[in-house]
Amino acid sequence: MDFTTLTLTNVTRTFGRRRALNQVSLEADAGQLTAVLGPNGSGKSTLLSIVATLLSPTSGDVKYGAHDGRAGSALRRRIGLLGHDLYIYPELSPAENLRFFAKAYRLTDVERRVDEALDRAGLTDRRDDAVAGFSRGMRQRLAVERALLHEPRLVLLDEPFTGLDDAATRTLRERLAGLRAAGCIVLLATHDLETVDGLVDRAVVLHNGRLGEVAGGSTPLRERYRVAVNHQIAKSPNPPIAR
């Protein structure tokens, strides 16, 4: 299955009495990089988990082109997720981690893909060392390659720049630009506003579970983000409670 749009319509998710997402609607197209911004606890990770089919919305719809989350494993094969936790096995080597996920995604030519991914992550010379001994930046580079190994259509990245040095950040920016050129739908939750400024096509802000648009323009993204957050605070000053 394939799709070129992601559409969220009035998505609400509650945890007990706390409403993590409140009537969120969002549309993203193929070849578009969308930054999801917002303070800690604003619902960014919940939003990505719902889009990744790991969480069900309490109400509202998520559509992947013409399909919904019930498309099951065929849909999951088209989604790549990098979480805040890196989803890699520290006891295994980078090559073993990538090989495991390549087989889980039923990829062909596994060894070539693993070699290429290790090369992109700059971990070829550490391919057989246990990940447990790696720095955060090295793990992050590996985790990015793990998430993109199966060439997903929908790429969900939660804080992908965490722990990366300047060179790795530059490489990841280039990789993200490559994903846009390849026609991927990319949702990127981040606090690194300076890093994604000029890279993303569009930015939205989540505050207290409500989604707002960050205006486009030539002013720095941080400035536009501040304006958008203030606007959101004015609209809904208190965290929403489910009734």
| Tokens linked to 121 | 């992550």
Q: Indicate the residue among 106 and 170 with the shorter CB distance to another protein.
A: 106
Residue where the block lists tokens 């205006």: 215
Is residue 90 involved in binding another protein (CB under 8 A)? yes
Is residue 89 involved in binding another protein (CB under 8 A)? yes
Measured CA to CA in angstroms, residue 64 lies from 68, 82, 155, 170 at distances of 6, 19, 12, 30
Residue from 77, 120, 173, 202 in contact with another protein (CB under 8 A): 77
Q: Indicate the residue among 64 and 225 with the shorter CB distance to another protein.
A: 64
At residue 186, what are phi and psi to the nearest 5 degrees?
-120, 125
Q: What's the length of the chain?
A: 243
Output the smallest distance, CB 216 to another protein, in A: 32
Is residue 76 involved in binding another protein (CB under 8 A)? yes
Q: Indicate the residue among 81 and 229 with the shorter CB distance to another protein.
A: 81
Q: Indicate the residue among 74 and 215 with the shorter CB distance to another protein.
A: 74
Stretch that binds another protein, among 2-10, 97-105, 186-194, 218-226 (CB under 8 A): 97-105
Mapping DSSP to helix (H, G, I), strand (E, B) and coil, where does residue 142 land?
helix
Residue where the block lists tokens 């992550």: 121
- Please say whether the beta carbons of 220 and 214 come within 8 A: no
Is residue 1 involved in binding another protein (CB under 8 A)? no
- Please say whether the beta carbons of 121 and 88 come within 8 A: no
Scan residues 125-164 and list those touching another protein (CB under 8 A).
Answer: 130, 146
16 burial via Cβ count (<10 Å: 0-12, 13-18, 19+): exposed
Residue from 8, 30, 88, 172 in contact with another protein (CB under 8 A): 88
Is residue 81 involved in binding another protein (CB under 8 A)? yes
* Helix ranges (DSSP H) in the chain: 44-51, 73-76, 94-104, 110-121, 136-148, 166-181, 193-196, 221-235
Q: Indicate the residue among 73 and 238 with the shorter CB distance to another protein.
A: 73
Residue from 7, 58, 100, 124 in contact with another protein (CB under 8 A): 100
Residue where the block lists tokens 């993303």: 200
Is residue 240 involved in binding another protein (CB under 8 A)? no
Chain residues binding another protein by CB under 8 A are 52-56, 73-74, 76-77, 79, 81, 83, 85-92, 96, 100-101, 103-106, 130, 146
